[in-house]
Structure 1
Amino acid sequence: MEQEERAARRTRRRFARRQWARRWLSLRYVLAFVAIVALLATSIWLVFFSTTLQVKRVEVVGNELLSDGRIREVADIPLGDQLALVDLGRADRRIASMAEVQSVDVTRTWPDAVRIEVVERTAVAVVELGGTLRGLDKDGVVFREYKSAPKGMPRVRPGAGAGTDALKEAATVVSALPEDLAARVDHVEVATVDQITLVLRDRRQVLWGSAEESELKAEVIDSLLAAQEASVYDVSVPGNPTVR
């Protein structure tokens, strides 16, 4: 009888342990679900509502021509907005529309900053437009003002029929010139996209034609200037240059 009672108690204990194990297994799923929901709710609160992840700083790097304040003004990123909700694309487009900007990258810097990295245009020549001396970059974009032309930088003189395409061609030509040759150029006369002429500081002229094969033309004229004295050099067809 006593053995039967001990066996029954053991059976009841095993049953109780199995019951508790099943309850604990169910409880673990419930606790895990509650923990996930709590974590998700906390994350949502931190990202979208907490002051911890609000924009407190707008960092600007890479700029020299434009001031930090001007770039921040154009970017129009309000301090105090939630960092996760800042429209980076809008800020990127606004800054990229500035003439001085060649490219821009706007990113979030957690936990509380927006970083604006700017690459500004570099002038390869100057051009006078409307009585104002402006910089011309390698892509033919007019972007900044000068009180006087920087030393050694060629001046582009567009003719009455020269449009933006002609300025771009002229910029391509100047960009292809080696530094020592560019320093010898007084100005670049641009009649049309196909009629570009370099006027050297000693008044000799180089008939360039269009911007096609500019690197080859630069090599040819460099050799011609060293080998032969002339008033006019024609490298519009670099395979068959002429002088007179």
Structure 2
Amino acid sequence: MSSGGGVDGPATPESDEDDWADGDPAEFESAEPEEIVESSAARRARLRRGRAPRESRFRNAWRSRGIRLGVPAGVIVLIALGLVAWFTPLLAVRTVRIEGLAAIPEQQVQDALQMPEGRSMLRLDTDALAERVARLPKVRSARVQREFPSTVQVTVVERTPVLYFDSPDGTHLLDCDSVEFAIEPPGPGVPKLITDHPGGSDPVTKAAVAVMAAMPVSLRDQVGVGAVVARSVSDIALELRDGRTVLWGGTVDSARKAAVVGPLLSQPGKVFDVSSPNLVTVK
């Protein structure tokens, strides 16, 4: 019985029902495993994050150590190979090839080289070898090169006569540098030099050699069995093989003289004066 207010029923059960109404029991129960799964995943991620730097540091340290060990090892190998090539017959000279010879016997060049037997290619002084060959009187220049693994290449440029002159001790040959390089017969096609004091150091002789170098090949061939008469450095005449004479003068304006002498020689005459190339004459 109740007076005025009536009976609402027991309070506790209603409170319990309200508590469960605020949240589904199934949802509450399922939340706990999800939180556990998420925590495990997060823990593994943290472990991975913690392990990755350590592994990376380990790899870097190993790589760095490998580099530090590899560099000295490589240097040692290179040094060892260099010593083997330097001191052993591995790269020894086995072939000497000589090119450019015409008047010089090959054995004469071999003797001048004095090539040490069994010497490593790396230990050869090519400049010194070339200098030995260049000392031969008939050699104008020489070059020595290595051709690995075992060949030495020698290239020789010989001196060739452009003039000769007679002397009490024989016939002297002069090359294009005015060098007296041999006393022997000149061979065909080399003109004779006629001057008062012939010789490699004589200024008149040098002027005559310079004129021979400046004249065109066609004129040089016509002088071949003739003579070059040099009375002074400015008075040089060419006696051609057919008896005609070209008055060349000195070495000044030689290029211009070489240009006008060809057409001039096509004219009849005996004496062709090109000493003043702007005013040539024929007699």
Which structure shows the bigger proportion of residues in strand conformation? 1
Distance 2:61 2:133 in 1: 60
Distance 2:229 2:277 in 1: 19
In the superposition, the TM-score normalised over structure 1's length comes to 0.79
Q: How does 1:139-150 map to 2 (within 5 A)?
A: 139-147=177-185, 149-150=187-188
Q: Which amino acid aligns with 1:196?
A: I
**Relative contact order, CA 8 A, sep 6+: which one is greater?**
1
Distance 2:119 2:76 in 1: 24
Based on CA coordinates, which of the two structures has the bigger radius of gyration?
2
Alpha-carbon distance, 1:194 to partner: 2.0
Measured on the aligned residues, the alpha-carbon RMSD in Å equals 3.1
**What is the aligned length?**
235
Q: Which amino acid aligns with 1:80?
A: G
Q: Go from structure 1 to structure 2 and tell me whether the alpha carbon gap of 1:22 and 1:209 turns closer, same or farther (over 3 Å shift).
A: closer
Corresponding residue of 2:213 = 175
Corresponding residue of 1:119 = 157
Of 192, 196, 202, which residue of structure 2 is paired with 1:159? 196
Corresponding residue of 1:225 = 265
Asked if structure 1 preserves the Cα contact closer than 8 Å seen for 2:246 and 2:272, the reply is yes
Distance 2:72 2:205 in 1: 66
Report which stretch shifted further, 62-71 or 153-162: 153-162
Corresponding residue of 1:57 = 95
Of 229, 240, 255, which residue of structure 2 is paired with 1:215? 255
Unaligned runs of 5+ in 2: 1-39
Asked if structure 1 preserves the Cα contact closer than 8 Å seen for 2:165 and 2:198, the reply is no
Corresponding residue of 1:236 = 275
Identity of aligned residues (%): 30
Alpha-carbon distance, 1:36 to partner: 1.2
Of 174, 179, 182, which residue of structure 2 is paired with 1:136? 174
Q: Which amino acid aligns with 2:262?
A: D
Q: How does 1:13-24 map to 2 (within 5 A)?
A: 21=59, 24=62
Distance 1:19 1:229 in 2: 101
Corresponding residue of 1:109 = 147
Unaligned runs of 5+ in 1: none
Q: Go from structure 1 to structure 2 and tell me whether the alpha carbon gap of 1:33 and 1:201 turns closer, same or farther (over 3 Å shift).
A: closer
Corresponding residue of 1:88 = 126
Q: Go from structure 1 to structure 2 and tell me whether the alpha carbon gap of 1:158 and 1:208 turns closer, same or farther (over 3 Å shift).
A: same
Q: Is the aligned partner of 1:78 residue 2:116?
A: yes
Alpha-carbon distance, 1:76 to partner: 2.4
Asked if structure 2 preserves the Cα contact closer than 8 Å seen for 1:159 and 1:189, the reply is no
Q: Go from structure 1 to structure 2 and tell me whether the alpha carbon gap of 1:53 and 1:101 turns closer, same or farther (over 3 Å shift).
A: same
Distance 2:202 2:132 in 1: 23
In the superposition, the TM-score normalised over structure 2's length comes to 0.69
Distance 2:56 2:104 in 1: 74
Distance 1:158 1:190 in 2: 5
Which structure shows the bigger proportion of residues in helix conformation? 2
Distance 2:85 2:168 in 1: 51
